Amino acid sequence: MKHLTILIPAYNEEDVLPALLERLERVIAFIPKYTFDYLFVNDGSTDRTLEVLKELSHQYDKIRYIDLSRNFGKETAMLAGFDYAKGDAVVVLDADLQQPPEFIHEMIHWWEKGYDDVYAVRATREGESRLKEWTSKTYYKLIQKMTADKVYPLAGDFRLLDRKCIEALKQLRENERYTKGMYGWIGFRKKEMTYHADSRAAGETKWKWSSLFKLAVDGLTSYSTVPLKIWSYIGIVISFMSFVFLAYEIGKTLLYGTDVAGYPTLLAAILFLGGIQLISLGVMGEYLGRVFIETKGRPPYFIREQSEEPVMSEKPIELDRKKDTLDDVD
């Protein structure tokens, strides 16, 4: 019998957990051909998420959890989940029930047909501001223009991943993670399905505009090197324009003489160029920052505790990255 892990990153989700489990149980009751476990990654919640999970695990024996040592963010929490997931396939699900678990059924259907990555694309999103929707649409359009890799806009983390994909994703151990880009990058056979996103069942979204901005920048800088290269083109265009302008000014002075005028143009030119230079420096800083963080080679997360009995009898996968590199040196 094949085993499926439902991977649920959870950060301050105490309110929604009982409803989530009830709904999951109902869905899974209709899928008798598989065994399941619910792997919660408690991402350093400051509320009673972990306690609630422990209480609920008396009622639902499918619950397993790992408790991260602090809040690492959803991207890293998912990596932790991939590391510990046992299933022949893993379904990544948000805790807040915005993604209807009923779709797991259809995902399994396509998985059985031989697809490795069945991802759900959201058609609408209830209870979300127009502005947020527009921003995310424009952002994905922009990102697609800047990279040769195929980007799957609106495809979130709600997806079923075959063991092959999980093993691939486990090898991508960047600290600054942008998992949405990784799904595309690893390849494998993909299948798209549409769903309607609901509004949160309880609690509040953890994304602030500032963290969305950070994710957007992370996305761009980990996807594409266009922002790094574009400045040489802009520089060429601006230099050419100022050269033409200079020639024109010289000609004009030779023909008509000069007065002290031109001060505003000068100032404008200096400020404009100054701005461009600062932006390009900032862009390089973004990339350099990423290089710096990655060269430290820190493990992406730490685990404080985990559920006593893993659902399957084997031991959880140990993270042995240090050892691997040492062996390579010998």
Q: Which residues bind Mg ion (CB under 5 A)?
A: 94, 96, 98
Q: Which residues, 51 to 80, sit near ligand UDP by CB under 6 A?
A: 71, 73-74, 77
User: Which CB sits closer to ligand UDP, 216 or 276?
Assistant: 216
By CB under 6 A, tell whether 118 contacts ligand UDP: no
Could you say which of 67, 83, 94, 116 contacts ligand UDP (CB under 6 A)?
A: 94
CA 234 to the chain's CA centroid: 30
- Binds 11, which of ligand UDP, Mg ion, none (CB < 5 to 8 A, cut-off by type)? ligand UDP
Told to check if 116 binds ligand UDP by CB under 6 A, we report no
179 binds ligand UDP per the rule CB under 6 A: no
Is 96 one of the binding residues for ligand UDP (CB under 6 A)?
A: yes
Residue 117 near which of Mg ion, ligand UDP, none (CB within 5-8 Å, type-dependent): none
Nearest-CA neighbor of 188 among 159, 158, 224, 146?
159
DSSP structure class, residue 103: G
- Stretch of 94-102, 144-152, 215-223, 289-297 contacting ligand UDP, by CB under 6 A: 94-102
Question: 6 or 95, CB closer to ligand UDP?
Answer: 95
- Residue number, 94 or 116, with CB nearest to Mg ion: 94
- Spatial separation of the C-alpha atoms in residues 297 and 291, rounded to whole Å: 10
In angstroms, the CA 157 to CA 92 distance is 6
- 10 phi, psi to nearest 5 deg: -135, 125
Q: Give SS3 for 151.
A: coil
Asked if residue 91 binds ligand UDP (CB under 6 A), the reply is no
Residue 209 as a binder of ligand UDP (CB under 6 A): the answer is: no
Exactly one of 14, 15, 37, 43 binds ligand UDP (CB under 6 A); that residue is 43
Q: Which of 164, 204, 23, 21 is nearest to 103 (CA)?
A: 23
| Complete DSSP assignment for 51-72 | HHHHHHHHH-TTEEEEEESS--
Q: Which of 122, 164, 206, 214: binder of ligand UDP (CB under 6 A)?
A: 206
Phi, psi of 42 (to 5 degrees): -80, 110
Strands (E), the chain: 2-10, 34-42, 63-68, 89-92, 117-125, 155-162, 190-197, 303-306
Answer with the entry of ligand UDP, Mg ion, none that 77 interacts with (C-beta below 5 to 8 A by kind): ligand UDP
Do residues 48 and 85 make contact, with C-beta atoms less than 8 angstroms apart? no
Our finding on whether 218 is near ligand UDP (CB under 6 A) is: no
Question: Of the candidates 195, 193, 187, 194, which has an alpha carbon nearest to the alpha carbon of residue 162?
Answer: 187
Least separation, in Å, of the C-beta of 123 and Mg ion?
16
- Cβ 217 to ligand UDP, closest distance in Å? 17
Interface residues with ligand UDP (CB under 6 A)?
Answer: 9-11, 13, 43, 71, 73-74, 77, 94-96, 98, 205-207
